[in-house]
């Protein structure tokens, strides 16, 4: 079967492409934005990428068009598809029908940490010899790919609350019907499709309704927004995790930067994790992953041991390079909470070392400015802050972030940022780039500029 994917370079749709190719389908796709790591994965898998959304990409007609949620009415390919009467579906629906049927689905939902927790869970199952399938919104470095079909009953999926397609406005995750569900946290986000937090909570409760009574839901003990969801009705056993309060899953013996900790289950120490990751947020992610893995049959001590070899996900505090004692990290953070958490983890790691934060307000919610009022506080742990201001930004970055004082510099081009940092960064500094997009390849350009400075 020939499948053509519209929006193929998105993290989710790219995963669909990889799985479809693995299952033996002929796969091609179109996208307006093509950049690594997804484009590299797809090309290495032998998948044909076509730039833009041209009707001729759908000629001759494929057997099925899988439509990404970034496409809407008015798009030339979408209009041609509808006029020509081509067979089409959404990515989540295709996954549910072609892959998830009869599988033990382990889904990870939440505003923050979905990708990392999903990667941890998939790695635990892999390390335990269970050969899971997975679809993750990033590239776990333990696997080198973002998705695969797998050969066991188990399938790990990052369960996104964003809408499904232009013709299906339900959240993606209602299609997955998990047996094991992790809900890690819940905040207001995606202001382009949700009016308020209550609207997102409604979608999360739709997800809760799909988990069978023989399944398991894992959530934080002290997350009020998720408690409100569960109070709407829950028909599935619950397990809670918390780093300090009494819960089924908690920790002790935590190192200062979070790079080592003991795992406590039902009051008993069941293992110790010592890994390359840092930060309290990753400890919470680990507890959720270990709890979910236990539901699938992996003993907690085995899971904890596996996480000692976990290598995180690309673009999640990924070290892109070091020049002259200056390290450049890439992170996907694009929500004030994620930005604050990422910076807190980095500060615990570098101590008094200078942190240069570089931010691209790229997500729809960030461009709209709905959460802009929280950004200055979220960035407070950085020593300098460089903010890229794209032409379509709906708020005045200089005014909103004025509380940062002389630490703040705004830029209308990435060249300005590269030039500033290459001129001011010094040995022992850390440059943290935060964006959920390609950011015009700024990471490599900063490193190149630093190399040129060194050679000069």
- Give 374's pLDDT tier (boundaries 50, 70, 90): confident
- Over residues 394-417, mean pLDDT: 87
3-state secondary structure (DSSP) of residue 65:
strand
Other beta carbons less than 10 A from residue 210's beta carbon: 18
- Give 398's pLDDT tier (boundaries 50, 70, 90): confident
- Over residues 156-163, mean pLDDT: 94
Look at domain 318-455 and name its CATH class. Answer: alpha beta
pTM score of the predicted model: 0.81
265: which residues sit within 8 A by CB, 6+ positions away? 248, 249, 290, 294, 300
- Residue ranges per structural domain of the chain: 2-92, 102-307, 318-455
Burial of 319 (0-12, 13-18, 19+ CB in 10 A): exposed
Q: What is the pLDDT of residue 37?
A: 65
- Over residues 140-161, mean pLDDT: 93
Query: For domain 2-92, which CATH number applies: 2.60.40.10, 3.40.980.10, 3.40.50.720, 3.90.1150.10?
Result: 3.40.50.720
Check residue 428 and give left, alpha or beta (phi > 0: left; psi -120 to 50: alpha): left
**Lowest-confidence pick of 292-296, 364-368, 440-444:** 364-368
Look at domain 102-307 and name its CATH class. Answer: alpha beta
Task: Provide the CB-side half-sphere exposure for 278 (13 A, CA).
Answer: 16
Locus of tokens 């010094």: 426
Examine the pLDDT at 349 and tell me if it is beyond 90. no
- Over residues 84-97, mean pLDDT: 98
- Over residues 152-165, mean pLDDT: 95
Helix, strand and coil percent figures for the chain, each rounded to 5: 35, 25, 40
- Over residues 110-132, mean pLDDT: 95
Mean pLDDT of the chain: 91
**Residue 279's Cα: distance from chain center in Å?**
17
CA geometry: angle at 351 spanning 349 and 354, to 5°? 105
How far lies 43's CA from each of 247, 268, 442, in Å?
A: 45, 48, 23
358: β partners = 386, 433
- Give 256's pLDDT tier (boundaries 50, 70, 90): confident
Q: Each residue of 24-72: pLDDT tens digit? A: 999 999 999 776 667 787 888 889 899 999 999 999 999 999 999 999 9
Q: What is the pLDDT of residue 159?
A: 96
Q: Each residue of 215-231: pLDDT tens digit? A: 999 999 988 899 999 99
């Amino acid at each position: 079967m020939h499948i053509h994917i519209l929006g193929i370079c998105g993290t989710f749709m790219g995963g669909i492409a990889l799985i479809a190719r693995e299952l033996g389908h002929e796969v091609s796709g179109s996208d307006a934005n093509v950049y690594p790591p997804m484009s590299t994965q797809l090309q290495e898998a032998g998948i044909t990428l076509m730039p833009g959304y041209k009707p001729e990409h759908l000629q001759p007609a494929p057997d099925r068009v899988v439509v990404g949620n970034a496409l809407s009415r008015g798009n030339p390919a979408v209009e041609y598809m509808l006029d020509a009467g081509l067979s089409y579906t959404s990515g989540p629906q295709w996954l549910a029908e072609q892959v998830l049927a009869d599988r033990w689905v382990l889904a990870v939902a939440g505003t923050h940490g979905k990708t990392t927790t999903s990667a941890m869970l998939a790695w635990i199952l892999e390390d335990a010899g269970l050969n899971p399938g997975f679809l993750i919104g990033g590239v776990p470095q333990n696997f080198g790919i973002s998705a695969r079909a797998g050969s066991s009953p188990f399938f790990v999926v990052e369960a996104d609350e964003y809408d499904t397609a232009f013709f299906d406005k339900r959240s993606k995750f209602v299609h997955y019907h998990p047996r094991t569900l992790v809900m890690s946290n819940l905040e207001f986000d995606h202001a382009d499709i949700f009016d308020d937090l209550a609207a997102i909570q409604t979608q999360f409760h739709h997800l809760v309704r799909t988990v069978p009574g023989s399944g398991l839901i894992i959530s934080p003990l002290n997350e009020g927004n998720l408690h409100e969801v569960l109070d709407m009705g829950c028909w599935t056993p619950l397990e809670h995790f918390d780093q300090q309060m009494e819960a089924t899953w908690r920790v002790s013996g935590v190192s200062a930067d979070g790079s080592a900790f003991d795992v406590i289950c039902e009051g008993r120490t069941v293992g110790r994790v010592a890994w390359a990751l840092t930060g309290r947020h990753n400890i919470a992610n680990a507890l959720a992953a270990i709890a979910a893995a236990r539901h699938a049959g992996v003993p907690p001590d085995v899971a904890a041991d596996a996480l000692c070899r976990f290598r995180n996900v690309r673009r999640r505090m990924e070290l892109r390079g070091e020049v002259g004692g200056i390290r450049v990290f890439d992170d996907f953070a694009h929500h004030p909470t994620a930005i604050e958490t990422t910076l807190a983890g980095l500060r615990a790691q570098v101590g008094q070392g200078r942190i240069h934060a570089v931010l691209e307000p790229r997500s729809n919610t960030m461009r709209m400015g709905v959460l802009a009022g929280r950004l200055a506080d979220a960035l407070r742990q950085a020593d300098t802050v460089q903010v890229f201001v794209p032409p379509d930004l709906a708020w005045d970055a200089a005014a909103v972030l004025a509380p940062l004082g002389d630490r703040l510099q705004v830029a209308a081009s990435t060249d300005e940022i590269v030039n500033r940092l290459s001129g001011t960064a010094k040995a022992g500094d850390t440059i943290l780039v935060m964006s959920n997009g390609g950011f015009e390849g700024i990471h490599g350009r900063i490193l190149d500029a630093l190399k040129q400075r060194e050679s000069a």
